[in-house]
Amino acid sequence: MELVNIWFILIAILWTGYFILEGFDFGVGVLLPVLGRDDTRRRVMINTIGPVWDGNEVWVIVAGGATFAAFPEWYATLFSGFYLPLLLILLALIVRGVAFEYRGKRPEASWKRRWDACIIVGSLVPAFLWGVAFANITKGVPIDAAGEYTGGLFNLLNPYAILGGLTTLALFTLHGAVFIGLKTAGDIRDAARGFALKFGVIATVLAAGFLVWTGLLHKSGWSIAISAIAAVALIGGLLATRIGRDGWAFTGTAAAIGLAVIALFVALFPDVMPSSTNPAYSLTVHNAASTPYTLKIMTIVAAVFTPLVLLYQGWTYWVFRKRITTAQIPKG
C-alpha cells in the first residue's frame, strides 16, 4: 500500500479517536446545566472527566500535526478556508481548559457559575462546529485551480453542514450522558441514564438523516454499509442503557461515533478536500501529499512513539476507572 494511503488511514484513525474520546468530554460539559442541579452534582460530573480531558485533546493536536506534515496542501487550504470556525473552536477549547482549572479556586457560588458557563459554551461550540467543518470537507467547498478556498463564511453554513453540526452535538451529548452513567453511581447515574434514553431518539434521527444524506451525495457502497453498522451500534447502546449495562452502552455509542467518522472518510477517499467549483481542482491524497521521503520518516517515528502514547493513555483510564458518587465530594 502506498504511504499516502497509509497516512490518510492514520489521520482518519486519529480523528476517530478524538471524536470518541473528546466526544464524551464535550457531552459532559453540555449536560452540566441539565444533570448538575447543584454544585455537588456538577463537581461529580466534572470529576468524571477531570483526569482524562486534557489527554483526550492530544488526539486533535496530533491529527492537525500529521495533516500538516503528511498533506501540507490539505492543511493549508483547510486552515485558511475554515479559519473563523477553527479559531472559534480553538478559543472555546482554551476557555474550557481554563474553566476546569479555575472553577475551584474560590468558594463563591457566583464564581463557580461563571466558570460553569465557560465549560458549557466551551463544550457546545466545538461539538457543533467540528460537525460543520467535517460535513463541508465531505461535501466539498469552492476551491480554485491553485488549491485556494474561494468561498466565504456563509458557504460553510449550508443545510448539510448545519445538519452535520447538529448531529455531532447530539451524538456527543448522548455519549456524555452514557459516560456519566458509566462513571457515577446513585441519583446522578439514574438521571443520566434516563436522559440518554429520551435524548437517544433525537440523536438517532439526526445521525440517520445526516448519514443517509452523505450516502446520497457520494453513493459509496462501503460508506453506506459502515453507516448502517453505526446505526445498529447506536441502537444497541440505547438498548444496553435501558437494561443498565453501562459498559456495553458506552461501547455502543463509542462505536457509533467511530463508525460514523470512518464512513465520512471512506466516502471522501481518494479526495481529502473535494472542490465544488470543478472536480478537477479537488485535493487528493496524491496531489496534496508530502514527498515520499517525508512520509517514510513520519512512518518510522509514528511506529515508535504511537504505541507508547496509547499505552500511557490506556493506563490513565485504568487507574481512574472507579465510579464517583456525591458522597465522595467534600462540602464547600
Residue 54 lies in a domain: yes
CATH code of the domain covering residue 310: 1.20.1630.10
What counts of helices (H) and strands (E) characterise the chain? 13, 2
160 within a domain of the structure (yes/no): yes
The pLDDT confidence band at residue 331, using thresholds 50, 70 and 90, is low
Q: What percent of the chain has pLDDT over 70?
A: 98
Establish if 332 belongs to a structural domain: no
Q: For the residues 171-197, what does the mean pLDDT come to?
A: 94
pTM for the whole structure: 0.94
Largest CA distance in the chain: 63
Residue 330 located in a structural domain: no
SS3 for 149? Answer: strand
Which has more confidence, 11 or 153?
11
| Residue 118 forms part of a structural domain | yes
Query: Which of 248-252, 286-290, 326-330 shows the lowest mean pLDDT across its residues?
Result: 326-330
**DSSP type of residue 287:** T
Residue 107 phi, psi (nearest 5): -85, -10
Q: Could you tell me if residue 329 is inside a domain? A: no
The residue type found at 2 is E
Q: How far apart are CA 210 and CA 270, in angstroms?
A: 21
Residue 16 lies in a domain: yes
Is 244 a member of any domain? yes
Q: What is residue 283's DSSP assignment?
A: E
Closest CA to 76 of 92, 64, 85, 91: 64
pLDDT tens digits, one per residue of 196-218: 999 999 999 999 999 899 988 88
The whole-number pLDDT of residue 332 equals 56
Share of the chain above pLDDT 90, in %: 69
Given a cut of 80, whether residue 235 has pLDDT beyond it is yes
Tell me if 8 sits within 8 A of 269, measured CB to CB. yes
Question: C-alpha grid cell for residue 123?
Answer: 463544550
Q: Is residue 179 predicted with pLDDT exceeding 70?
A: yes
Domains in the chain, number: 1
Grid cell of 67 as nine digits: 495533516
Beta bridge partners of 283: 273
Quick check: helix, strand or coil at residue 276? Answer: coil
Look up the domain containing 131 and give its range. Answer: 3-323
pLDDT of residue 221: 84
Cα 157 to Cα 34: distance, rounded to the nearest angstrom: 28
- pLDDT tens string 73-126: 999 999 888 999 999 999 999 999 999 999 888 888 889 999 999 999 999 999
